[in-house]
Amino acid sequence: MIGNLSSNLRALIEAHGRPEREVYLDLENSGLIFEEALNELLKSYRESGYGHPSITHKPGWSSLELLLEAKENLLSFIKARDGEVVFTHSGTEANNLAIMGLAKATPNRRKIIISSIEHLSVKFPAERLQELGFRVMEIPVDDEGFVNLDYLSDQIDEEALMVSVAAINHEIGTVQDLRAIADVVRDKDPETIIHTDACDALGRTPLDFGKLEIDIASFSGHKIHAPKGVGALYVRDGIKLEPIIHGQLSSQSLWPGVENIPSIAGFSKAIEIFRENFDNYREKMKNLRDILIGGILSQIDDAFLNGPRGDRRAVDNVNVSFLGCEGEALTVELSLRGVYVSSGSACTSRTLEPSHVLLAIKRPYEIAHGSILMKTSPLHGEKDIEYALGQLVKAVERVRSIAPKGVV
């Protein structure tokens, strides 16, 4: 079974030949690593981060030093004045810890409020809690993905355990007004905890947790060209969480198991790079985003942008739909041309169902079904984007030409 699959995959990979250029735009699902972050990871494995940070010997203290520096680095990047950082092994784990950990710590509050466009690593734990007797309310969003603040306000009462809204939506790039969300929640009930999934926001938009009244926030390393398999949860002082996994000794009581210091050190380096180049990187990602969006809309018929425009859209997000062009077929055609994108959200794309995000913003089925998601990065140049655009124009034409009539 595995043997067959492997040989099929090998044949698929070999069918690709040698494209003129390769452009990786699937930064939603996984990213390239900064060279400096990779060097930091290797250095940590070889020299300074192989010890267990809870053990009293030199390699242990050296790992602990790296761990504490990484926590400081993240806290300072998000301008948090108080609070703690817990490193996990992914953004998914950070979101699960936030939701399940809160529910375990405060079982007398039984209502969980999330937006209808949250990432599956927020949506699924909330649904799991629903099976365990909690009530889950989904806040509707408008056609650009902004949450309905009146609806949110109506849901807040002394039963409400938490509100979870992503700072930036991973699929359509909606930059939520976290200040307004926090004001609505605090106004109705200061005890309701506010969580934001900030995996897509770190390095893309200014975050100031010193000013924002956000209690908990999740982050993921690969979103900022750090190693994969590392995430973090910021928890404001005074917020009670319970661990959701149990076992091995760790310096972090909320996340047992030996800390992945080399990946954390790489994450910390990537944070440093994003912090030092924050304005330049944002400008660069935005410029490349606009070249790509502008080119698509002017050169391809029946192409539609999903999500907001201008400054209310994430600087890196390009989510477009092409009528009569199935998203999955387009990712394969583009892959053969050296351009790597995903169709909607990777998690949902495997089911070939349109993403719940596009359906929540009321995109018609045929538009939702023909969507692809791309993200620009500071590691891209204009030539990459021009190449991707040229290939996209040809790929859409080809997929449309072979699509059976009446099938999107």
Which of the residues are catalytic?
A: 347
x/- contact string, 231-250, with ligand PLP (CB under 6 A)? Answer: x-------------------
> Using CB atoms, what's the residue nearest to ligand PLP?
91
Question: Which region, judged by CB under 6 A, interacts with ligand PLP, from 19-27, 43-51, 72-80, 84-92?
Answer: 84-92
Residue 52, both tokens: 């267990």
Residue 123 Cβ, how far from ligand PLP at the closest point, in Å? 10
Q: Which residue has the tokens 């991707």?
A: 388
Residue 9 phi/psi, 5° resolution? -65, -40
User: Nearer to ligand PLP by C-beta: 40 or 200?
Assistant: 200
Does position 268 interact with ligand PLP (CB under 6 A)? The reply is: no
Does position 199 interact with ligand PLP (CB under 6 A)? The reply is: yes
Question: Which region, judged by CB under 6 A, interacts with ligand PLP, from 87-95, 317-325, 366-374, 377-385?
Answer: 87-95
Buried b (16+ CB within 10 A) or exposed e, 217-232: bbbbbbbbbbbeebbb
Among 44, 62, 63, 90, which residue interacts with ligand PLP (rule: CB under 6 A)? 90
Question: Which region, judged by CB under 6 A, interacts with ligand PLP, from 8-16, 66-74, 90-98, 298-306?
Answer: 90-98
Does position 25 interact with ligand PLP (CB under 6 A)? The reply is: no
Q: How many residues of this chain bind ligand PLP (CB under 6 A)?
A: 15
Question: Which region, judged by CB under 6 A, interacts with ligand PLP, from 6-14, 135-143, 192-200, 275-283?
Answer: 192-200
x/- contact string, 139-168, with ligand PLP (CB under 6 A)? Answer: ---------------------------x--
Does position 26 interact with ligand PLP (CB under 6 A)? The reply is: no
